Amino acid sequence: MSTIIKAINVSKVYHKTTVPVHAVNQLSLSIEEGEFTAIVGPSGCGKTTLLNILGGLDQPTEGKVEVDGTDISNMKDSELIDFRLRNIGFVFQAYNLIPVLTALENVEFIMLLQKRGKKERHERAMELLARMDIADKANSKPSQLSGGQQQRVAVARALASKPRFILADEPTANLDSSSTNNLLDLMARMNAEQKATFIFSTHDQRVMDKARRIVTLEDGAIVSDVKR
Amino acid sequence: MIAIIAWRNVWRNKGRSLVVIGAMIIGIWAMAFGGGFMQSFLTSYIESSIKHETSNGQVHQPEFTQDYDIQYYIKDYSSILNFLEQTSSVEAITARSLVNGMISSSRQATGVKIIGVNPDEEAQVTELNTLIVDGTYFEGISSNPVLIGNKLAEKLKVNVKSKVVLTFQDIEGNITAGRFRVAGILKASSIAINESSAYVLKSDLNRLLNIGYNVHEIAYTTVTGTDDEALAKTLQTNFADDKVESWKEISPALVFMEQWMAATLKILIIIIMSALAFGIINTMLMAVLERIKELGMLMALGMKRTKVFLMIMLETIYLSTVGGPVGLLIGYTTIAYLGKTGIDLTDYSEGLEAIGYDSILYPMLQPMDYMQIVIGVITTAFLASIYPAWKAIKLKPIDALHTI
């Protein structure tokens, strides 16, 4: 398997007050293609900051992040937007679907930004919704869906752009047990069938149980990295 | 799809959007109606001036317009009359003799412009007969009938059939006077007619002036849609020794009023649209601030800032323009209805007529005026959209996503 992401000596320091806060501290990490990785640790340990840096949403104070050998740490904002569109899928804790679009349109939207044809968009969106067991809700607006259903649409949207990897920040935090298990099963299936690379931040034991690699952070640094 | 998202976003908060759209409808209606009302004032004044004073065009001997001396009568008036009679766009023609003089009653005397007319021709050109409020139109008086304005009658303290004396210089410069009897009293929206004009028979005046059949002024009206300036130029070319003027040249004040009214309408549009623009900006800023997280998500997913900018602009433009056609339609309907029935300002008629306006006004707007309003709405929508859209693209996805 090839290395998709390589974080090299990455640090992120916030100056919220006069005292600097090291959210990520001299962290190095490699993610291989097809991995199903959970980044875990207590609140405030730097999970979300690390994910934001890996996803090009935030830039490290020190160090660099390479995606498929390309250094994204110093990319311009407009380059990063385009880079994210082509390479990264996002699943957010609060689903963050576009409320005025249907489930189908939400999944199609990302492909529209990629300027893919109408037929391809529609077919792929329907296929992904079907894989997420939510094709019957294709024409429902997010407000008509449960939290679990919305998160499945969000995963379908993340996969729709055919990204190199998917970043999921606490994807099950707002879900009940049943929805969590359902979502994790679907993501694991997508990981197995489509070799989709997933990186989660979580402190949900059920997610950790499904993960094949668990990276544990503490005070912004990796304290353990276990592959199963 | 961005256009669809923008359109649907407009209706996310229906109440708020409807308030803005309602404000746009009322604003545009107010612009259309206000413009139409102002236009009716202008048109009333200009039409009244053309009808009762300047006509669509006049011919004089050039020196007469400068000195107002009666010796400068039109040399070859019959050729001009023939030419005008054969011009299809000319509706009616009248020839007048003119002199400035004094009018006196047993109680008062004042300066007056004495106009010698042919009653039938004058009725066709200036509809002078329709202005009679007391007495008759040159009838019922066996010799030397005179028509005077109501204000002049009040000043002279005379009534119908009262005697007045007109005094002026004849062609040889001799002071001459004629005894006239008031046949009718006129009331017009023209101050000049009401206060300082005396209409007599041309034959009576010419006899006293001793100028035979000569005239000092030929006035003509034209059919609707005639280019009065072009016609005046054609006449001027054919009669180079005389001075031909359209109503615009005779009365530059009317042209100024037209321009002033056009400028006022533009200012009205700017004021109303500026007020509406701030309402729109406020609403759209609220819409952007409410959706910071969503906008951050869109940029995180890979939506370019230019597309976010476009989306917010489209939302603003939709919000601004959706009420436009409704406002214009209501404005057009109001103007069309009141343009037929008129707005009765009889309660203010004394004041209005004192400054030369009719008491019943008929609102109207030209297609170009509607176009100005449409351009105003589109410009406002475009300008109002820039700030909220700019605020949206200044968001950093990472910060926006973590907004509660």
Q: What is the pLDDT of residues A170-179, one digit of tens each?
A: 888 888 888 8
- Which chain A residues are closer than 8 Å to B304 by Cβ? 78, 81-82, 113
pLDDT at B314 over 80: yes
pLDDT at B112 over 90: yes
| C-alpha–C-alpha distance, residues B80 and B232, integer Å | 12
pLDDT at B291 over 70: yes
| C-alpha–C-alpha distance, residues A48 and B229, integer Å | 78
The whole-number pLDDT of residue B287 equals: 86
Tens digit of each residue's pLDDT (9 = 90 or more) over A57-91: 998 999 999 999 999 988 888 899 999 999 999 99
Burial B348-385 (b: 16+ CB within 10 A, else e): eeeebbeebbbbebbbbbeeebbebbeebbeebbebbb
Q: Give B6 to chain A, closest Cα distance, Å.
A: 9
Retrieve residue B193's tokens: 């007619």
The pLDDT mean for chain A works out to: 90
Q: Model ipTM?
A: 0.88
Q: Are B176 and B170 in contact (CB under 8 A)?
A: yes
Q: In terms of C-beta density within 10 A (0-12 exposed, 13-18 middle, 19 or more buried), how is residue A206 classed?
A: middle
Please report, for residues B61, B104, B143, B145, B163, the alpha-carbon distance to residue B178 in angstroms, rounded to integers and kept in the order given.
26, 11, 11, 11, 10
Q: Are B99 and B177 in contact (CB under 8 A)?
A: no
Mean pLDDT to the nearest integer, B358-375 = 84
Q: Are A65 and A10 in contact (CB under 8 A)?
A: yes
pLDDT at A16 over 70: no
pLDDT at B354 over 70: no
How many residues does the structure list for chain A? 228
| C-alpha–C-alpha distance, residues B188 and B133, integer Å | 9
pLDDT at B355 over 70: no
pLDDT at B239 over 70: yes
| Percentage of residues of chain B with pLDDT beyond 90 | 50
Partner-chain contact A84 B307, CB within 8 Å: no
Mean pLDDT to the nearest integer, B365-385 = 86
Strands (DSSP E) contained in B143-261 are 145-149, 163-169, 175-186, 197-201, 217-222, 243-246
At B244 the three-state DSSP class reads: strand
The whole-number pLDDT of residue A88 equals: 93
The whole-number pLDDT of residue B404 equals: 61
Mean pLDDT to the nearest integer, B244-265 = 88
Please report, for residues B77, B125, B258, the alpha-carbon distance to residue B232 in angstroms, rounded to integers and kept in the order given.
16, 17, 20
| C-alpha–C-alpha distance, residues B250 and B143, integer Å | 33
Mean pLDDT to the nearest integer, B120-128 = 93
pLDDT at B189 over 90: no
- Which chain A residues are closer than 8 Å to B293 by Cβ? 94, 96
Chain A contact present for B81, CB below 8 A? no
Partner-chain contact A84 B293, CB within 8 Å: no
Q: Are A196 and A155 in contact (CB under 8 A)?
A: no
pLDDT at B320 over 90: no
The whole-number pLDDT of residue B223 equals: 93
